[in-house]
Amino acid sequence: MAKILIVDDSKLSRRTMRRILESAAHEVVEASEGMSALEQYVVEQPDLVIMDLTMHGMHGLDLLAQLHSLNPMGRFIVASADIQRTTLVMVEGAGASAFIPKPFMADHVLNTVHSVLAGGQHDPH
């Protein structure tokens, strides 16, 4: 399947997402903050990045902008508990292909991931 980079400062969130993705035979790489995520992105060249918005150091939107500048054709999903309409609009405007709300629901995560990997935009609403 795909190689997916998970970026979240919550170990629990990373572990939960890893279990969901590995259940569908995806290879998972992790980073706990923005700078290590940028490094992992360059080294690992994942097919997809799933990132939180609120993290220590670099905010998720800043990370998304930097990743998008490294690879304008990259596939990026934001996973956050912040589901406000303004947040969804900002995430979409920053180049995310989809949004996954927390707490994670395995079926929704996998459907979204597979849709984005297939090249589609996944409607977060």
Tens of pLDDT, residue by residue, the chain (125 residues):
899 999 999 999 999 999 999 999 999 999 999 999 999 999 999 999 999 998 888 899 999 999 999 999 999 999 998 877 888 888 888 889 999 999 999 999 999 999 999 986 555 44
**CA 61 vs CA 3, 20, 27: distances in Å:** 22, 24, 24
Give CA angle at 33 (47, 90), nearest 5°. Answer: 70
Q: Does residue 122 form part of some domain?
A: no
pLDDT of residue 124: 47
* CATH number for position 64: 3.40.50.2300
Q: Which domain holds residue 112?
A: 3-117
Domain count, the chain: 1
- In this prediction, residue 3 carries a pLDDT of 98
Specify if 124 maps to a domain: no
Task: With respect to residue 7, please indicate whether it lies within any of the assigned structural domains.
Answer: yes
